[in-house]
Amino acid sequence: MLEKQFHCAVEVTVDLIGGKWKPVILAHLKEGVRRYGELRRLMPTTSEKMLVQQLRELEGDGLVRRTAYDTVPLQVEYDLTEEGWSLVPVLTALYEWGEKRAERTGLTFVNVAQ
């Protein structure tokens, strides 16, 4: 297998957290441990298949930890690993920029009940 080659440090970050949903998942997990169902409610416009795929990729990249409890029904929780926590300043900067952009352009956010 060929090792990935990068030409810029930003490529490394985007390779791990790029796309529409990974930064959103990470932003929710920086607020604390979340059950799978909570993430689904917080992200109502993503499909279950996409959420599962993105969570698996984040877990495979060592940014998210999945904990399954031996209960009926199965209870699964997700939280950030130490490597995932190292992204918090990046996620915070993205959040703050998005807030300011929304203010400048008149965007509003849909409130999702937690």
DSSP string for 57-97? HHHHTTSEEEEEES-SS-EEEEEE-HHHHTTHHHHHHHHHH
Q: What is the pTM of this model?
A: 0.87
Express each pLDDT in 63-104 by its tens digit: 999 999 999 988 999 999 999 999 999 999 999 999 999 999
At residue 109, the pLDDT reads: 82
Express each pLDDT in 15-59 by its tens digit: 999 989 999 999 999 999 999 999 999 999 999 999 999 999 999
